[in-house]
Every structure is written in C-alpha cells, then in structure tokens.
Amino acid sequence: MPHSPVPLRLGVNIDHVATIRNARGGAHPDPVKAALMAVKAGADGITAHLREDRRHIRDEDIATLMAALTVPLNLEMAATQEMLGIALRHRPHAACIVPEKREERTTEGGLDAAGQIETLRPIVGALSEAGVRVSLFIEPDAAQIEAAIRLNAPVVEFHTGRYAHVSGAERAEELRRISDAAALAAKNGIEPHAGHGLTFDNVGPIAAIPQVAELNIGHFLIGEAIFAGLEGSIREMRRQMDLVR
C-alpha cells in the first residue's frame, strides 16, 4: 500500500443537507444531525459555507454546530466585514476564505489572493489573532501561493473544480498543476488542502498527492447518500482515500 507521511483528513461539507431542508422551509433534514452522523462515519471535520444570501447554511446552524461538534468546524466565508464579525463571534477551528458571487451556483474558481492582498490582510490578521486557522481557497498557481505566503496564511485549499470537470490530457495537466502547487505550498510551510467537485471516480489521484493534508467534499457525498445512506457514502469515500495513502 502507498504511504504518505502526512495523514489525510476528510472534511465533510454539509451545506446541501441545508439546501434540502430549506426547499420546504422546515427543520428537516437537520444539517447538525447530518454532521454528527458524518463524524460517526469517519469525517475528521465538518465544513459549512455561510453565504451572504443564506441559501443553505444559516447563522443559527453555525451556532448549533459550534455547540454540538467535537471535531473541528471549518467555516467557509467571503472576505466581508459581516462574515468576519460572525467568525470572530464563533471562533471556529478554521475559516476558509472563498470568493463569493451572489449569482453563482457554487464557488466558481479560486480566490484572487494575489490581486487583493491589501483587502485580505486585515481579515486574515484578525482571524489569526483570534486563534482561527485561516485557509485561502485558491487556484493551484504559484502567484496565489506567493500571496498566501505574504499573508501568513497557514493553509491553502486548492480548487479542484477544473480538475473535476475536464478529462484526458487536460485532466492530467490539471492534476500536475495541483500536485506542483501542493509541493510548493508545503515547501513554504503552508498546509495544502483540496476540494470541489470530488467524487468516488476522481478522488484517488488528488488523495494520492503526498503533501495534501485534507480534502473537503460536499455535494457528491450528500447526493450519494440518497443511494447509499450518509454513513455509507462517507465510509466509501474514506476507503477510497485510504487506498492511495
């Protein structure tokens, strides 16, 4: 079996449990119950994105998650004063800064950290001072890693959306970019994570990148739960990840 010195954590993103709940405006299915079940099935952490429009996770979900979880909560957030205030109030284990456009269906593309260093600096600084581990959701690109270094971000998460959506030689090239970026980040003392669009079919090569310490996976796991149950879908993802480490 291949062996990497870095253990690979699985962060389960529960946003789309809340999407289903919100479709009928009630309390079912409860994303916090799903988070606890995810932990039982092998999730090392829970990820939730509080969007400006609250289309899935809501403020009260963050409060309940903070109270209920015994594993780290990774709060995905836009770099806004509103979200900074919320993060400082709850002080989750980690905050992943993501780009956010109101009209997008999901987080399309990474954060342009290189183009917004001065906007990001006080936000990264305030979170770090509060003991929140900051991650920047970026493209696997040297200029973005350079920006993360300048911002003293301890973690970057590479956007795997492009990798997930292309095939053949294009996918091989994107995998190489992610792999090179993970090595560059690790060489500079930054912990590389990865996520977006990962499934049973495409997770293996990303999980096999030896420096990658965490994968954050949501939509596929919640969708697959329809067929395999939430625990079944998470256990199988964990198994696929472990196969290549």
Active-site annotation, residues: 49, 76, 196
Residue with smaller CB distance to ligand PXP, 77 or 184: 77
Min dist. Cβ of residue 189 to ligand PXP (A): 21
Residue with smaller CB distance to ligand PXP, 18 or 114: 18
**CB-neighbour burial class of residue 239 (10 A; exposed 0-12, middle 13-18, buried 19+):** exposed
Q: d(Cα 119, Cα 101) in Å, to the nearest integer?
A: 17
Min dist. Cβ of residue 12 to ligand PXP (A): 9
SS (H, E, C) the chain: CCCCCCCCEEEEECHHHHHHHHHHCCCCCCHHHHHHHHHHCCCCEEEEECCCCCCCCCHHHHHHHHHHCCCCEEEEECCCHHHHHHHHHHCCCEEEECCCCCCCCCCCCCCCCCCCHHHHHHHHHHHHHCCCEEEEEECCCHHHHHHHHHCCCCEEEEECHHHHHCCHHHHHHHHHHHHHHHHHHHHCCCEEEEECCCCCCCHHHHHCCCCCCEEEECHHHHHHHHHHHHHHHHHHHHHHHHHCC
Residue with smaller CB distance to ligand PXP, 14 or 32: 14
The residues that touch ligand PXP, with contacts defined as CB under 6 A, are 13, 15, 49, 76, 96, 98, 106-107, 137, 157, 195-198, 216-220
Residue with smaller CB distance to ligand PXP, 24 or 105: 105
Residue with smaller CB distance to ligand PXP, 8 or 169: 8
Min dist. Cβ of residue 1 to ligand PXP (A): 26
Min dist. Cβ of residue 161 to ligand PXP (A): 7
